[in-house]
Structure 1
Amino acid sequence: MKTTKTFSCSLGELATRLGATLVGDGERRVSGLATLSDAGPDDISFLANKAYLKYLPATRAAAVLLHPAHVADCPVARLELDNPYLAYAELSRLFDPMAMPQEAGVHPSAMVAEDVSLGANVRIEAQAVVERGAVLGDDVVIGPGSVIGADSSLGAGSRLYANVTVYHGVTIGERAILHSGCVIGADGFGFAHDGARWHKIAQLGGVIIGDEVEVGSCSSIDRGALGDTLIGDDVKIDSQVQIAHNVQIGAHSALAGCVGIAGSTRVGRHCMLGGGVGLSGHLTICDGVQVTGMSLVTNSITEPGVYSSGTGAMQNALWRKNAVRFKQLDDIAKRLSRLERDARQS
């Protein structure tokens, strides 16, 4: 699938912008971004993964972003750089039709409290609700059906897509992106049990989200019980992620889909949690930790590195045999300890 043609630029201009070495006609203009196999003569493409090298010789693109190691197979103009995937990321934003300037204003069907503070060029779309005391910075976009609770604030350049819910007392930094269906600031899971029934604990804290944070669709970030739930700058959160009350996530960390983090856990900076990872509550994960998909972390991690748990998929018959052996590990370990002790004594 090609991008919608909303942007046009010469190859020379792109090379300067990306810091790339251009081999080809600098006056040639491109107006789309596409894959190697889909690109036409008005498109620019990229090669960032060697798995797609087989498509390079036959590409019809006007030019290709690639690493110098792959220039021999390129039949068209090229922009050479060390990190073509990073360059592709920048190009994608240039060709993004949603990044085009949109008309500011408040839709007639939106409900905005009288004391709301609106910055310059704010856009509030149909059926959105902005409650009392909210503050929206310059160039904020509130999508249709979204709700901004009382005394919450959004920094300049932030965007909420349709049907996002931001509860009361939430602070969101600049250039944040919140996708449809995500909920920021709902009550954390706090209850006390008297032996017969549960009693709700009021969640009195808030949520503070830093600059350039992105939250995927249908993800939830709960408000703190007393202090705040904290999400650092440049954190990227995928869809269907659950972040419980009083969790702290350090800057530049990334969480893939279906991650679940229990209450009061602290995740360091530059951490990456794979899809389906679960973190138990009240843990500390140091900076620079990567946890691979479907892992369960039940103890704090104090050394950076890559961590995994669980077992990979295998044929069911073999898995059933191994599952039986898992239950025997404790007995096997005790027998081994006795054998080692006897060997030392003999």
Structure 2
Amino acid sequence: MSARLSDLHAALGGVLHGTGDRVVVRIAPLAEAGADAVAFVAHPRYRAALAGSRAGVVIAPPDLVADVLARSEPPAGGWACWESPDPYGTFARLTQWWRQHVQPRPAALGVHPTAWVAPGARVHPTARLGPFAVVEDGAVVDEDAELGAHAVVQARAHVGAGTRLGAHVVLGYDCRIGARGLVHGGTVIGADGFGFAPVPLPGGEGKRWEKIEQLGAVRIGDDVEIGANCCIDRGALGDTVLEDGVKLDNLIQIGHNVHVGRHTAMAGCVGIAGSARIGAFCTLGGGAIVLGHLELADHVHISAASVVMRSILQPGQYSGIFPIDDNRAWEKNAATLRQLHALRERLKALERRTTP
């Protein structure tokens, strides 16, 4: 794979400094890039790394253009700077462009011979169904959608236009995902939520669990990406909802009747218990837990491995498990906790001196 810098610039925009004739063969980190690579730098604190970088092309903000072009020992044709007010965003769009060209989608349209489509299902002629994919009765697969090998779209489910379901993905009955979505392999959308009623056993020796049937569905908006091996439970009565632009990493559990606001992102192994409501533009770090029936306001950011045990109604960064608190207060308490043993020994010594 190779591309002329001028073609990349024409496709993605920005301001180009230096020659556009340079041929780029890879995208690389700033420290590892050579003259044939494009890298990016987004903040002045990386000036030292930039000075030592051999990247032929650097995507940079306006205040770093001069630094990009002033590096020593430029290759033939000189350094090139791709100026952007949002280098990270331009880098993200560049990776999308690159993947489309490096890993093109299959040219063939239609249904693989081993796939099965129920007579009452509707699959658009431009959709792609991989080997052993299943589309059950009443389901709809819209234009340019793609189902990977062994993917299952159950009865009356709906896959939006341009959405891709990876291998072994299950979209449960009556569930819906909007347009331009991406669901990675092994994810199950619309499994039963964890609902059981404790019922006394005869003789009073204990209780057994009586299943509460989960009668809702899952509704997922447009431009949602869901990682591998996630589980998104259907609602008990109403629906579990993921709004537009939500991004989920791998191995995430979303309980029944959870509502996740638009453009919220969660890192790996996050768990959201049933009926929690997560606001818009939130982030949850890896391994974070939100207990059931709690609410997070818009723009709440939860640090990795934190446990949310109460509703958070003000935007901000929150951390910790003892219990969760405003991040600044939590850091002060954590610093004090590290000194707890020394304080204990000082207190014991003081008591010994003052005790008759």
TM-score range for the pair, normalised by the shorter chain length: 0.7 to 0.9
Say whether 1:100 aligns with 2:111: no
Can you list the C-alpha shifts for 1:109-158, whole angstroms capped at 9, x where unaligned? 11221222112421111121111111011111111121111110110000
Can you list the C-alpha shifts for 1:192-247, whole angstroms capped at 9, x where unaligned? 01132100011000000000001111111000001100000000011111100000
Partner residue of 1:85 out of 84, 88, 96 = 88
**Percent of aligned pairs with the same amino acid:** 43
Distance 1:299 1:107 in 2: 50
Partner residue of 2:146 out of 134, 141, 154 = 141
> Which residue matches 2:136?
131
> Which residue matches 1:246?
257
> Which residue matches 1:47?
41
Partner residue of 1:169 out of 168, 174, 198 = 174
> Which residue matches 1:213?
224
TM-fit CA distance, 1:301:
1.4
Q: Is the 8 A contact 2:251 2:270 kept in 1?
A: yes
Q: Mean Cα displacement is larger for which, 164-173 or 95-104?
A: 95-104
Distance 2:218 2:59 in 1: 40
List aligned pairs for 1:297-316, cutoff 5 A: 297-310=308-321
Partner residue of 1:71 out of 39, 59, 65 = 65
Can you list the C-alpha shifts for 1:8-58, whole angstroms capped at 9, x where unaligned? 3x3334334444221111233434322234434443222236676555345
TM-fit CA distance, 1:69:
3.2
Return structure 1 stretches of 4+ with deviation > 6 angstroms. Answer: 317-320
Distance 1:90 1:20 in 2: 12
Distance 2:53 2:127 in 1: 42
> Which residue matches 2:235?
224
> Which residue matches 2:284?
273
Q: Mean Cα displacement is larger for which, 202-211 or 278-287?
A: 278-287
Shift in CA distance, 59/263, structure 1 to aligned 2, threshold 3 Å: same
Distance 1:318 1:211 in 2: 46
Can you list the C-alpha shifts for 1:240-287, whole angstroms capped at 9, x where unaligned? 111000000111111111111111111111111111111111112111
Q: Is the 8 A contact 2:151 2:167 kept in 1?
A: yes
Distance 1:39 1:121 in 2: 39
Distance 1:319 1:124 in 2: 60
List aligned pairs for 1:101-120, cutoff 5 A: 101-102=105-106, 103-120=108-125
> Which residue matches 1:290?
301
Can you list the C-alpha shifts for 1:53-112, whole angstroms capped at 9, x where unaligned? 555345444311112333344341111122211110000000014762422121111122
Output the amino acid matched with 1:180.
G
Distance 2:99 2:13 in 1: 21
Distance 1:35 1:240 in 2: 27
SS of the counterpart of 2:81?
A: strand
> Which residue matches 1:329?
none
Scaled by the length of structure 2, the TM-score of the pair is 0.81
Output the amino acid matched with 1:270.
F
Distance 1:99 1:208 in 2: 30
Output the amino acid matched with 1:262.
A
SS of the counterpart of 1:208?
A: strand
Output the amino acid matched with 1:27.
D
Say whether 1:28 aligns with 2:5: no
Two-structure CA RMSD over aligned residues (Å): 2.6
Say whether 1:14 aligns with 2:8: yes
Output the amino acid matched with 1:121.
T
Say whether 1:179 aligns with 2:190: no
Say whether 1:189 aligns with 2:183: no
Distance 1:320 1:146 in 2: 54
> Which residue matches 1:341?
none
Distance 2:228 2:32 in 1: 28
Q: Is the 8 A contact 1:208 1:230 kept in 2?
A: yes
Output the amino acid matched with 2:98.
F
Q: Is the 8 A contact 1:11 1:22 kept in 2?
A: no
Q: Is the 8 A contact 1:93 1:99 kept in 2?
A: no
In the comparison of the two structures, how many residue pairs are matched?
Answer: 316
